[in-house]
Amino acid sequence: MRVVVCITGASGVIYGVRLVKALHDLKHEVLTLVSREALEVMRYECLCVDRLIDMLRKWSSGLWLENELSSPLTSSSFLVDAVVVAPCSLKTLSDIASSRQGDLVSRAACNALRMRRRVVLLIRETPLSTQDIRNMLSASEAGAVIMPAAPAFYQGVRGVEDIVNFIVGKVLDVLGVPNNLYRRWGAGTLTRETLPCAQLFCSEGS
């Protein structure tokens, strides 16, 4: 499967980075797009930006910034199986919903929608305005899957990795990619160490 992963300027860049690595590890072809705003968010949330870009290059068949319109992804003749925007900023959502193809990210997503390919928008913002919800409806009507980055806790949580893996695993589920990144409902028994309420409210020995 050839998947385009677009990392935009919402908090939660780690979702996109983890998705790129997961697809690479599962032997799928990954093409990565990074917006200018995502580079700014990386400086707050991630490793050294240069090191992170090097990691993304290692896991990707190609990596482009949003203004590199010479990329083959500008054309719908370059066939892909899916586009995932993770995280998807509200600006990017608006551009895709209105088909305003002003950069490589929105262009790649709109191309995929035109070709009836799977498009997943991992929205990472709260709260949402009425216009944001309208934009999500418009994108959904155009064929996109709207997926809020809303982790569940029934799988047990030991830390950030479990929260991120749950969301990334759900994205892979939508793409039809088999994975075991998260514990599915009803699978196994949770321990005290993985119960969120126990971790937050109960001291040791209580």
8 A C-beta contact, residue 67 and residue 27: no
Q: Tokens 């009836």 correspond to what residue? A: 116
pLDDT at residue 1 is higher than 90: yes
What is the total residue count of the chain? 206
Q: Which two tokens stand for residue 49?
A: 């930006």
| Cα 193 to Cα 191: distance, rounded to the nearest angstrom | 5
pLDDT at residue 206 is higher than 60: no
Q: Which two tokens stand for residue 41?
A: 């968010």
CA angle 39, 44, 45 (to 5 degrees): 90
8 A C-beta contact, residue 37 and residue 19: no
Average of pLDDT values for 73-84? Answer: 97
6-22 residue pLDDT tens: 999 999 999 999 999 99
| Architecture of the structural domain at 2-201 | 3-Layer(aba) Sandwich (3.40)
Lowest mean pLDDT segment, chosen from 60-74, 77-91, 189-203: 189-203
How many CA atoms lie less than 13 Å away from 190 in the CB half-sphere? Answer: 19
Average of pLDDT values for 128-133? Answer: 98
| Cα 79 to Cα 115: distance, rounded to the nearest angstrom | 9
pLDDT at residue 193 is higher than 90: no
| Cα 56 to Cα 33: distance, rounded to the nearest angstrom | 10
DSSP calls for 20-76? HHHHHHTT-EEEEEE-HHHHHHHHHHSS-HHHHHHHHHHH-SEEEETT-TTSGGGST
| pLDDT for 205 | 54
Question: Roughly what angle, to the nearest 10 degrees, separates helices 130-141 and 90-97?
Answer: 50
Per DSSP bridges, beta strands 118-123 and 145-148 are parallel
pLDDT at residue 157 is higher than 90: no
pLDDT at residue 176 is higher than 90: yes
- Indicate the average pLDDT of the chain: 93
Average of pLDDT values for 69-84? Answer: 95
pLDDT at residue 72 is higher than 90: yes
How many CA atoms lie less than 13 Å away from 9 in the CB half-sphere? Answer: 10
**Which sequence spans correspond to the domains of the chain?**
2-201
| pLDDT for 129 | 98
